[in-house]
């Protein structure tokens, strides 16, 4: 784990881990379905008690995303919502709440298009605490570690059932905040079946790091979340379900649609 200034993720997630409290990090796409409603969705996440936020910037070729998030990305891009507007919206989110950890999920081309140093500076200025670069292998992390450290931003990495111990060690050289653990192989949000080897994977990771382990991919219900926690997770991440709920009730406010669901996901226990 690299050494840098303590972030909100480190403070919040590590404190919860030491107190054996379980966390919930909801995900949504910035700007979906438009900037105003997106802000309302994010405010509802915060007000419902989310541990932290994971917010994506729409990308034209989101390989890791399932059909729900891919469709949402297409919708968002069609409105003209871009990286500049994403940072403006992030500033609004940070102004709304000074304490919640904010993570950004992006693809590497977005960073390269802006310039690595500039992207991380803009992210830090907008109040971002961590960045997960979906398609950047840990072997290529050297391209961003200096910018991340200078900006005081955690690099978040994905660990999957296919991650070898050797690759995990490479990840741990650069990782801060928490690890995003994939519960199974595939793309996000496609079903609610989980790799039976998740418990073994979490045990293997815990033997090598004390970073909090948050499990995602296919986590839709409190029951799913409890299974992940029973397997040894420190918390869960979910996104596709949130977007589906908003899609299913287009004439209702995000608060009306999401509040009960989000609160049920936030009330996780051992």
Tokens describing residue 59: 């990308």
For residues 138 and 174, the answer to whether their CB atoms sit within 8 Å is yes
If DSSP codes are grouped into helix, strand and coil, which group holds residue 126? coil
Q: Decide if 54 is catalytic.
A: yes
List helix spans (H) across 57-212. Answer: 67-78, 83-96, 108-114, 116-125, 142-151, 165-174, 198-206
Among 238, 237, 239, 231, smallest CA distance to 270 is for: 231
**36, 40, 47, 54: which is the annotated catalytic residue?**
54
CA-nearest of 177, 173, 174, 151 to 8 is: 177
Collapsing DSSP to helix, strand or coil, 48 comes out as coil
Nearest residue to 8 via CA among 86, 85, 83, 97:
97
CB 233 within 8 A of CB 182: no
- Of these residues, 36, 40, 47, 65, which one is catalytic? 65
Rounded Cα distance between 189 and 25, Å, is 15
User: Catalytic annotation on 84?
Assistant: no
Hey, what are 3's tokens?
A: 């050494």
Catalytic residues: 54, 65
């Amino acid at each position: 784990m690299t050494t840098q200034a303590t972030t909100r993720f480190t403070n919040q997630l590590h404190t919860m881990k030491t107190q054996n409290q379980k966390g919930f990090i909801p995900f949504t796409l910035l700007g979906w379905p438009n900037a105003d409603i997106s802000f309302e969705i994010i405010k509802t996440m915060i007000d419902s008690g989310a541990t932290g936020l994971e917010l994506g910037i729409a990308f034209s070729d989101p390989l890791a995303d399932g059909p729900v998030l891919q469709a949402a990305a297409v919708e968002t891009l069609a409105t003209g919502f871009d990286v500049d507007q994403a940072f403006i919206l992030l500033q609004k989110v940070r102004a709304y709440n000074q304490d919640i950890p904010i993570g950004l999920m992006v693809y590497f081309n977005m960073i390269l298009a802006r310039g690595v140093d500039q992207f991380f500076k803009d992210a830090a200025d907008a109040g971002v605490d961590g960045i997960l670069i979906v398609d950047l292998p840990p072997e290529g992390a050297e391209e961003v570690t200096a910018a991340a450290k200078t900006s005081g931003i955690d690099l978040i990495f994905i660990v999957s059932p296919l991650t070898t111990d050797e690759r995990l060690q490479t990840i741990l050289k650069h990782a801060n905040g928490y690890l995003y653990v994939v519960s199974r192989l595939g793309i996000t949000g496609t079903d609610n079946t989980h790799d039976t080897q998740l418990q073994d994977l979490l045990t293997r990771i815990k033997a090598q790091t004390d970073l909090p382990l948050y499990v995602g991919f296919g986590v839709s219900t409190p029951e799913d979340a409890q299974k992940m926690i029973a397997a040894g997770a420190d918390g869960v991440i979910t996104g596709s379900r949130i977007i589906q709920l908003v899609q299913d009730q287009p004439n209702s406010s995000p608060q009306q649609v999401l509040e009960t669901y989000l609160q049920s996901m936030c009330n996780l226990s051992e």
